[in-house]
Amino acid sequence: MHTQVRELARLPLSLLTRLRLILLGHEDLAGIVFWAALVGFCGALASVAFREGVRLFETLFTGQAIGLVHAASELTWWHRALVPPVGGACAGLVLYLAGRAVSSARAVDYMEAILVGDGRIGLRTSLCNSLSSLLTIASGGSIGREGPMVQLAAMLGSKLGVLARAPLPRLRLMVACGGAAGIAAAYNAPISGALFVSEIVLGSTAMESFGPLVVASVVSSATIHRFLGYGPVFVIPPLQFASNWELVFYVILGVLLGHLAPPFLALLDFAKSRFVGWQLPLYWQLALGGLIVGAISIFVPQVWGNGYSVVGNILAGELVGLWLLAVLAAKVLATAATVGSGAVGGVFTPTLFIGCGVGAAVGAVLHALLPSVTSVPAAYALVGMGGFLAATTHAPLTSILMIFEMTLDYDIVLPLMLTCVTAHYTAKVYRRGESVYHAALSHGLAGSGSNDWRLKTVSSLVKPAVSIVKPSATLREMFAQLPRRPVGRVYIVERDEIVAWLDPRQILKRVRSRQLDGETPVAEVAESVTCALAPEMPLGVALDVFLREHATVLPVTAGQWRNTLLGEVSRHDVLLAIRDRLTLPK
């Protein structure tokens, strides 16, 4: 043992260097896991900051930060009617001034950046949109906060990818990791966060992309737990199903929700077209949407905000009968007014609200007619949330897991699965099968790079070679200059021409077995370069080369064999680029 230690000490290897060498051969995995974890951590911090921002502006608008619905109920009717239009005007003014001051004409949605963009999301535009969203949400706008939270996390993923000089496919993947981290932080649902981006945005659950999404979601959720604690989003009473025959009623509920989702999406589109048709400045447009919300809230204060607290009241059985139907109808109108006016935010949470209300109403009727056969209305409310979400997003698997993660109630899973799938297939019949995210997923396809030539060849995947040494360098000098991250190849270059390469991990093994010492020139132990990629090589051909050579990284030269070293390409990036080509919208 002492002899081996003394032998290893002949090379100046720090503990970090030895650890990097242990990871050699897995440099893509180690690198993307590190960046995915960092994106998840930063995304969680952004979500916490956004939550605190909502509380701050809520205090400024209402004088208290005890929840929007509760605050609205405590205000006088004229104050309740005034806050939403004032907040909407301020939010619209932020967007108006940002449009004049920021060079970018519009914000790049994270879905667009992943699918058809170059993975770059502007910092100033995203911050301005987030500020506008803060003003809308804190003043009672009927919209979800998950939209800006996800956008902020995705923007941070984009910036970290640019900082890491990630090639195009990996930059898009880091933006996707930000989106998954934002969903996980917003709903305390790490599984759903990763699956949402995979199922809806990427359209693929290949491990090359799904693995990093899981890492980002888990880190984001764990970070959120440090700030907000751990527990279900919705606390529900114990549920127990009366009989297996009851599953028939859940199928009927799924069919009903599947028929209701398309009219709801059509209402949102109609509201958007009407507001745009009036051609008002943004501040007047959002103020008008806030005015409608304020007028509705005079009689129904429950329309303020995203509806979390009201969903809790429905599940607890505190909102029933005709008043439940009135609140449900008012929420639909308020959401249409807020979304239609152009407010920045998400419709995810209002969708859960509507599904919960419909499910509770159906459950109340069934339980009154057949109390011995059906469960309590709260069970139908929970299942309705997932069913309506599946019908609007066309992502039944994500919907099932999200409701389960938000309630942590396994007993609800079986009827939830049945309702979500039924609602999904029913809603697919309408609107040419388009989901609530159709506009975001298809925006900018014309001329925006959906047939980007850079993704057809390896040219956009070329990164600078990690480690280059001269033929006269010794092994001691080579290990001393290794970067602080795993590398798969050390290239021996003379006058910009690649001469040979070597595997540092194999060299380390030979040093440990005392076959080599630190003064051995690298040229004596290097291997000839038997294969290299060319910048214009198609992705499919490049992948064939990787598989044939059993390599994780290969050099790129001006010619296919032994020429000027331009950089290197990893197999992981080639797989991501091919996944991009296969999942781009048609």
Instruction: Give residue 451's pLDDT.
Output: 46
The model's confidence at residue 12, banded by pLDDT at 50, 70 and 90, is very low
Q: Which two tokens stand for residue 156?
A: 């941070």
Averaged pLDDT, 443-466 = 61
Instruction: Kindly state the percentage of the chain with pLDDT values over 70.
Output: 83
Phi, psi of 13 (to 5 degrees): -100, 120
The model's confidence at residue 322, banded by pLDDT at 50, 70 and 90, is very high
What is the spatial distance between Cα 89 and Cα 135, in angstroms, rounded to a whole number? 9
Phi, psi of 493 (to 5 degrees): -125, 135
Instruction: Give residue 40's pLDDT.
Output: 94
Instruction: Give residue 442's pLDDT.
Output: 59
What is the spatial distance between Cα 351 and Cα 385, in angstroms, rounded to a whole number? 7
The model's confidence at residue 117, banded by pLDDT at 50, 70 and 90, is low
pLDDT > 90? residue 9: no
Q: List Cβ neighbours of 241 (8 Å cut-off, separation of 6 or more).
A: 375, 379, 411, 415
Instruction: Give residue 450's pLDDT.
Output: 45
Averaged pLDDT, 100-110 = 60
Domain ranges of the chain: 22-228, 244-442, 453-583
- Mean pLDDT (the chain, rounded): 81
Instruction: Give residue 444's pLDDT.
Output: 45
pLDDT > 60? residue 8: no
Instruction: Give residue 461's pLDDT.
Output: 79
State whether residue 352 is helix, strand or coil. helix
Instruction: Give residue 525's pLDDT.
Output: 82
Instruction: Kindly state the percentage of the chain with pLDDT values over 90.
Output: 33
The model's confidence at residue 100, banded by pLDDT at 50, 70 and 90, is confident
pLDDT > 80? residue 387: yes
Instruction: Give residue 171's pLDDT.
Output: 84
Averaged pLDDT, 218-238 = 79
Which one-letter DSSP state was computed for residue 108? -
Instruction: Give residue 363's pLDDT.
Output: 93
CATH topology of domain 453-583: CBS-domain (3.10.580)
Averaged pLDDT, 249-256 = 94
Q: Which two tokens stand for residue 162?
A: 């640019």
The model's confidence at residue 308, banded by pLDDT at 50, 70 and 90, is confident
User: Are the C-beta atoms of 191 and 13 separated by less than 8 Å?
Assistant: no
Instruction: Decide whether 22-228 matches 453-583 in CATH topology.
Output: no
Name the pairing type of β-strands 527-528 and 497-502.
antiparallel
Select, from the ranges 82-91, 167-176, 488-497, the one with the highest average predicted confidence (pLDDT).
Answer: 82-91
Averaged pLDDT, 119-145 = 89
Is the pLDDT higher at 329 or at 534? 329
Averaged pLDDT, 433-451 = 57
CA distances from 111 to 36, 121, 396 (A): 17, 11, 19
What is the spatial distance between Cα 286 and Cα 133, in angstroms, rounded to a whole number? 11
The model's confidence at residue 225, banded by pLDDT at 50, 70 and 90, is confident
CATH topology of domain 22-228: Clc chloride channel (1.10.3080)
What is the spatial distance between Cα 260 and Cα 24, in angstroms, rounded to a whole number? 54
The model's confidence at residue 14, banded by pLDDT at 50, 70 and 90, is very low
Instruction: Give residue 196's pLDDT.
Output: 85
- Calculate Rg over the CA atoms of the chain: 28
pLDDT > 50? residue 19: no
- Helix, strand, coil distribution of the chain in percent, nearest 5: 65, 5, 30
DSSP string of 167-185, one letter each residue: -HHHHHHHHHHHHHHHHHH
Sort 3 into a burial class: Cβ within 10 Å, 0-12 / 13-18 / 19+.
exposed
Instruction: Give residue 255's pLDDT.
Output: 95
Instruction: Give residue 2's pLDDT.
Output: 38
Averaged pLDDT, 295-319 = 90
Q: Which homologous superfamily does the CATH classification assign to the domain defined by 244-442?
A: Clc chloride channel (1.10.3080.10)
What is the spatial distance between Cα 171 and Cα 184, in angstroms, rounded to a whole number? 20
Averaged pLDDT, 42-46 = 93
The model's confidence at residue 580, banded by pLDDT at 50, 70 and 90, is low
Is the pLDDT higher at 57 or at 29? 57
Q: Which two tokens stand for residue 174?
A: 């880091």
Instruction: Give residue 324's pLDDT.
Output: 93
pLDDT > 70? residue 6: no
Instruction: Give residue 583's pLDDT.
Output: 53
Q: Which of 115-119, 441-445, 546-550 has the lowest mean pLDDT?
A: 441-445
Angle between helices 168-187 and 396-407 (to 10 degrees): 40
Other residues' Cβ atoms within 10 Å of the Cβ of residue 196: 29
Averaged pLDDT, 247-263 = 94
Other residues' Cβ atoms within 10 Å of the Cβ of residue 582: 10
Find residue 501's DSSP bridge partners: 491, 527
- Alpha helices (runs of H) in 66-122, residue ranges in sequence order: 68-74, 77-101, 110-115
pLDDT > 90? residue 267: yes
User: Are the C-beta atoms of 502 and 525 separated by less than 8 Å?
Assistant: yes
The model's confidence at residue 102, banded by pLDDT at 50, 70 and 90, is low
pLDDT > 80? residue 392: yes
pLDDT, tens digit, 9 for 90 and up, residues 341-377? 999 888 888 899 999 999 999 999 998 998 888 888 9
User: Are the C-beta atoms of 446 and 112 separated by less than 8 Å?
Assistant: no
Instruction: Give residue 17's pLDDT.
Output: 45
User: Are the C-beta atoms of 489 and 568 separated by less than 8 Å?
Assistant: yes
State whether residue 299 is helix, strand or coil. helix
Is the pLDDT higher at 487 or at 401? 401
What is the spatial distance between Cα 237 and Cα 469, in angstroms, rounded to a whole number? 66
